[in-house]
């Protein structure tokens, strides 16, 4: 208050109420603390000389305290620095924003209903309050979150095409906003618990990438590795055919065979052993009919293109001509039947005969020498050995 003759003032009134306190700064100036009141009142100064006859008016106005209704986001890293949006009412006169007892380093009043504030460093869950000349607001909860930690990925490998689901284990996963494989976001993910996330792997290039989780507390440090595997390549089979009964040992050559999970002959699974990244040995399973099937190799990286393997029926021997010959052998025997095209041997008992394949239904063989009596003649091909027909060795006549 400014005026004159204030020296020795004994009272200052706001209407009928005395000032809470006052100080006479000089003969022309008084500083006073207004008492509670309402409406418009006259302010007077009392000195030993009397009460001021001239006065000024002072208007009391109703000031509503601030109210907070929400904070977005409701959490952030312990290091602070997150910009949060506070919604409510009566915020236009904000003088301070506090996170617990700590004052926000900066804030911006957007409107009477919105304030933007930068979170200071902190820990745990605190109450955010806003102060205005009308008082201090109610609190809204804000949580200082810890940085996620990814300790393992299972399985830790899969095809470059992605699409498989893996389980991430670790900690501080609540509120996770992103899961990335290298620089590629997961196709989708679900936070199963604070220590477990299920994620669908995106497509990627062959090689190793780091899996990281981003949450309210920040982004996890690298440490969990996932391997993108290329599909195996099957280039050849040796032998490329075998019997209907199966059991043929087949060598598969190609690349990226490590971690093979299956070898199939058509739809039938084969027993196998991975010798190296480029070599597998497999035992052909039996088949119900002669013909070709596709052999494939499956790994976590996918399934190879197929290479043909032929199941062969055993040859059928129906007739011999002639059916007898000398003990010294040497006679030409014609064998008729079917499945002779791939003949590998002809036997007269235990003796091996030289032979010539005439067609798939006929061949000629030179009978080997042997003791007198009948022997079984058989034809062997990759498809098996025929049933035997009888050939007799006849001694020369004795006079």
185-196: pLDDT as tens digits: 999 999 999 999
The reported pLDDT for the residue numbered 63 is 65
Query: Which of the 8 DSSP states describes residue 187?
Result: S
Residue 3 domain flag: no
In a domain, 194, yes or no: yes
Q: Which of 267, 292, 312 is the last residue of a domain?
A: 312
Name residue, tokens 């011999």.
Answer: 320
If asked whether residues 250 and 274 sit together in one domain, one would say: yes
Q: Quick check: is 210 in a domain?
A: yes
Q: For the whole model, what pTM was predicted? A: 0.53
The number of domains in the chain is 5
Give the DSSP H/E element, type plus range, for residue 260. Answer: none
Question: Does 241 reside within a domain?
Answer: yes
pLDDT single digits (tens) 285-344: 999 888 999 999 999 888 999 999 999 999 999 999 999 999 999 999 999 999 999 899
Measured between alpha carbons, how far is 372 from 327 in angstroms, rounded to an integer? 6
Q: Would you say residue 337 lies in a domain?
A: yes
Which domain CATH number covers 112? 2.60.40.10
Mean pLDDT of all residues in 38-54: 90
User: Has residue 347 been placed in a domain?
Assistant: yes
Query: How confident is the model at residue 183, as a pLDDT?
Result: 93
* End position of a domain, from candidates 119, 145, 171: 145
Answer whether residue 5 is part of any domain.
no
DSSP secondary structure letters along 75-135: EEETT---EEEEEEES-TT--EEEETTEEPSEEEEEETTEEEEE--S--EEEEEEEEETTE
Domain holding 281, by residue range, is 233-312
The answer to whether residue 283 is domain-embedded is yes
- Facing residues of 199 across strands? 166, 189
Mean pLDDT across the stretch 31-42?
Answer: 91
- Shared domain check, 237 and 215: no
Q: Is the pLDDT of residue 360 over 70?
A: yes
Percent of the chain with pLDDT over 70: 99
Same domain, 270 and 288: yes
Instruction: Indicate if 194 and 244 belong to the same structural domain.
Output: no
């Amino acid at each position: 208050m400014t005026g004159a003759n204030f020296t020795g003032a004994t009272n200052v009134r706001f209407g009928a109420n005395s000032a809470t306190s006052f100080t006479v700064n000089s003969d022309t100036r008084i500083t006073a603390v207004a008492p509670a009141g309402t409406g418009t009142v006259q302010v007077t100064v009392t000195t030993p000389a009397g009460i001021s006859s001239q006065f000024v008016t002072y208007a009391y106005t109703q000031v509503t305290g601030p109210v907070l209704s929400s904070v977005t986001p409701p959490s952030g890293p312990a290091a602070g620095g997150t910009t949060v949006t506070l919604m409510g009412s009566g915020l236009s006169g904000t003088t301070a924003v506090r996170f617990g007892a700590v004052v926000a380093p900066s804030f911006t009043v957007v409107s009477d209903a919105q304030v933007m504030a930068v979170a200071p460093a902190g820990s745990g869950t605190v109450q955010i309050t806003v102060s205005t000349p009308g008082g201090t607001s109610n609190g809204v909860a804000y949580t200082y979150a810890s940085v996620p930690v990814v300790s393992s990925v299972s399985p830790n490998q899969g095809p470059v095409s992605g699409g498989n689901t893996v389980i991430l284990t670790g900690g501080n996963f609540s509120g996770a906003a992103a899961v990335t494989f290298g620089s590629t976001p997961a196709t989708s993910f679900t936070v199963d618990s604070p220590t477990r996330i299920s994620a669908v792997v995106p497509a990627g290039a062959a090689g190793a990438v780091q899996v990281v989780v981003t949450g309210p507390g920040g982004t996890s440090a690298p440490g969990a590795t996932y391997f993108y595997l290329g599909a195996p390549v099957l280039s050849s089979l040796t032998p490329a055919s075998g019997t209907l009964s199966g059991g043929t040992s087949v060598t598969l050559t190609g690349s990226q065979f490590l971690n093979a999970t299956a070898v199939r002959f058509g739809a039938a699974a084969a027993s196998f052993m991975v010798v190296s990244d480029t070599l597998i040995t497999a035992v052909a399973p039996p088949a119900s009919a002669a013909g070709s099937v596709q052999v494939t190799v499956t790994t976590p990286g996918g399934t190879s293109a197929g290479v043909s393997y032929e199941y062969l029926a055993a040859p059928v021997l129906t007739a011999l001509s002639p059916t007898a010959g000398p003990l010294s052998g040497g006679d030409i025997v014609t064998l008729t039947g079917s499945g002779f095209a791939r003949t590998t041997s002809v036997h007269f008992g235990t003796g091996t005969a030289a032979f010539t394949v005439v067609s798939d239904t006929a061949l000629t063989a030179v009978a080997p020498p042997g003791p007198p009596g009948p022997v079984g003649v058989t034809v062997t091909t990759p498809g098996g050995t025929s049933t035997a027909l009888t050939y007799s060795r006849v001694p020369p006549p004795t006079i």
